[in-house]
């Protein structure tokens, strides 16, 4: 998953170690082994559990070692302890100081050092210059930032190996990050592959050129996925400095040195070069103010890996589908070989006045993400992208996205109240608007989750006096 941004967690997959043990029951020595984690890291894992993307503990022993290694590489015990008490929404230094009981003069340099590692994020108000801080999630967050630059204090090869062991040795994280109805990224259709007929209903937020061109700030970084694959000896030939961060994401990436700031023209050139390289453009799964556009390959991207290997709907499809002109199709299989999620199969096809059986592409519509890479690979112009029968549900903005993700994970109350802390009237205003747009059944579920939070709080207070 690369970006201010996301990208992937890449490469080929080894058979999970857990398959060697019936019913996922691990040997006694493994179960004892799984308990050896310092309390500070356990508290941090518990804290992440309340966010929209957690860092679940895997069952596979090799994956568990990678999980533990990730935590120890990115956080000292003292940093893990501090991170376990940080909010998921931005909070000013002064409020954090009061919440944590740490003097602001002592807290600021600790937070800044963690921002430089990407485990904490800071947002700087454009007018006042005041910074607000929040705990970074695994994705889009400290996974990507750990490998978005070539040199820093993080041991790159060791980190790449730990990430690969964790994300490829066990399906726990893939299901956590990509198993919900509201996912992190959405596919953008290749605009050059759209049907020749006018498509006035193609909205600006569906076009990569508009998403990038209308941003207010841009930055480019190393692709987290391919950088990781490089350290694993599995690098492909796609460009590496190609992950685009936008808007607030670009400002953070540039400020903290995870990428370099660029102008709009260079960002659009990156898009063009990516299409020429047969890459998929995956954007932040929102309509307004997205924070990234990744340029992904099927061999390295973790989101695409979630589709092709784990069978998850890990990428929100574009809403477009390839349509074939049989008269132009040569049955060459270029489209099938180019598809980043292996959604195209070449099957025998009989044709009139042809003695030999031809081959034709058969597209798995349930797997297809509507990226249009197949159409771009066709030298005969036999594939074009047309509007599909169903338009995907794309959250309006980042607040609606996190509200939906929290609701699906039964954590809406945790998002709204964040361990007793209010999140500010502006966030709550946007959250209420997002809740009002939910279907009726989800509104009932949301109300129940919030109500249960108050019930739990009341019961806890009653026990205090029992």
Which residue, 331, 361, 387, sits at the end of a domain?
A: 387
342-372 residue pLDDT tens:
999 999 998 888 888 999 999 999 999 999 9
Considering the domain boundaries, does residue 258 fall inside one? yes
Residue 278 has pLDDT above 60, yes or no: yes
99: cis peptide before it, omega within 30°?
A: no
Considering the domain boundaries, does residue 123 fall inside one? yes
Residue 60 has pLDDT above 80, yes or no: yes
Considering the domain boundaries, does residue 25 fall inside one? yes
What pTM was estimated for this model as a whole?
A: 0.84
Two structure tokens written together for 137: 């999630």
Task: Say yes or no: 61 and 208 in one domain.
Answer: yes
137-171 residue pLDDT tens:
999 999 999 999 999 999 999 999 999 999 999 99
Which residue, 330, 364, 387, sits at the end of a domain?
A: 387
Structural domains in the chain (count): 3
Which of the residue ranges 142-156, 200-214, 317-331, 412-426 would you say has the lowest mean pLDDT? 412-426
Strand partners, 293: 244, 283
Alpha-carbon torsion, ordered 450, 455, 460, 462, to 10 deg:
150
Considering the domain boundaries, does residue 392 fall inside one? no
Is residue 139 a contact partner of residue 1, using CB atoms and an 8 Å limit?
yes
Task: Say yes or no: 66 and 124 in one domain.
Answer: yes
User: Predicted confidence band at 432 (pLDDT cuts at 50, 70, 90)?
Assistant: low
Mean pLDDT of 57-66: 97
Two structure tokens written together for 238: 């796609």
The domain that holds 337 is classified in CATH as: 3.30.70.3270
Considering the domain boundaries, does residue 230 fall inside one? yes
Considering the domain boundaries, does residue 1 fall inside one? yes
User: Predicted confidence band at 449 (pLDDT cuts at 50, 70, 90)?
Assistant: low
Mean pLDDT of 275-280: 95
Two structure tokens written together for 332: 């060459």
Task: Say yes or no: 350 and 417 in one domain.
Answer: no
Mean pLDDT of 60-64: 97
Residue 10 has pLDDT above 50, yes or no: no
Range(s) of the domain holding residue 375: 320-387
pLDDT for 18: 34
Phi, psi dihedral angles at 122 (to 5 degrees):
-120, 145
Q: Any residues with CB less than 8 A from the CB of 351 and at least 6 apart, and which?
A: 358
Interatomic CA distance for residues 77 and 394, integer angstroms: 39
Q: Is the dihedral of CA 436, 440, 443, 444 positive or negative?
A: positive
Two structure tokens written together for 360: 């034709």
Considering the domain boundaries, does residue 183 fall inside one? yes
């Amino acid at each position: 998953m690369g970006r201010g941004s996301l990208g992937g967690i890449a490469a080929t997959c080894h058979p999970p170690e857990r398959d060697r043990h019936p019913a996922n029951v691990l040997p006694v020595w493994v179960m004892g082994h799984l308990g050896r984690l310092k309390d500070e890291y356990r508290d941090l894992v518990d804290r992440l559990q309340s966010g929209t993307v957690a860092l679940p503990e895997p069952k596979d022993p090799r994956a568990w070692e990678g999980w533990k290694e990730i935590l120890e590489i990115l956080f000292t015990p003292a940093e893990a302890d501090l991170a376990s008490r940080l909010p998921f929404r931005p909070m000013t230094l002064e409020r954090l100081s009061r919440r944590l009981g740490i003097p602001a003069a002592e807290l600021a340099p600790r937070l800044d050092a963690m921002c430089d590692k990407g485990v904490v994020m800071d947002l700087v108000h454009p007018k006042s210059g005041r910074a607000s801080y929040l705990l970074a999630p695994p994705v889009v967050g400290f996974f990507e930032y750990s490998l978005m630059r070539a040199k820093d204090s993080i041991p790159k090869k060791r980190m790449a190996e730990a990430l690969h062991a964790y994300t490829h040795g066990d399906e726990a994280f893939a299901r956590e990050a990509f198993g919900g109805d509201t996912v992190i990224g959405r596919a953008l259709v290749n605009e050059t592959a759209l049907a020749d007929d006018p498509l006035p209903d193609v909205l600006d937020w569906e076009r990569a050129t508009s998403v990038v061109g209308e941003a207010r700030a841009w930055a480019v970084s190393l692709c987290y996925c391919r950088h990781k694959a490089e350290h694993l000896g599995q690098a492909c030939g796609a460009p590496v400095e190609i992950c685009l961060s936008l808007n607030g994401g670009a400002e953070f990436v540039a400020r903290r040195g995870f990428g370099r700031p660029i102008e709009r023209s260079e960002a659009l050139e990156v898009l063009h070069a990516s299409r020429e390289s047969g890459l998929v453009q995956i954007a932040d799964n929102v309509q307004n103010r997205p924070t990234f556009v990744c340029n992904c390959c099927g061999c390295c991207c973790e989101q695409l890996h979630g589709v092709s290997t784990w069978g998850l709907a890990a990428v929100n499809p574009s809403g477009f589908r390839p349509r074939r002109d049989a008269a132009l199709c040569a049955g060459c299989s270029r489209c099938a070989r180019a598809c980043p999620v292996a959604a195209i199969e070449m099957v025998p096809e009989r044709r009139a006045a042809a003695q030999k059986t031809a081959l034709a592409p058969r597209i798995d519509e349930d797997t297809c993400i509507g990226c249009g890479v197949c159409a771009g690979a066709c030298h005969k112009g036999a594939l074009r992208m047309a509007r599909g029968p169903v338009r995907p549900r794309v959250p309006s903005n980042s607040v609606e996205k996190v509200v939906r993700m929290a609701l699906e994970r039964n954590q809406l109350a945790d998002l709204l109240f964040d361990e007793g802390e209010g999140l500010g009237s502006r966030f709550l205003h946007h959250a209420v608007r997002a809740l009002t747009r939910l279907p009726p059944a989800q509104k009932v579920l949301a109300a129940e989750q919030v109500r249960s939070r108050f019930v739990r709080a009341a019961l806890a207070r009653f026990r205090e006096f029992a």
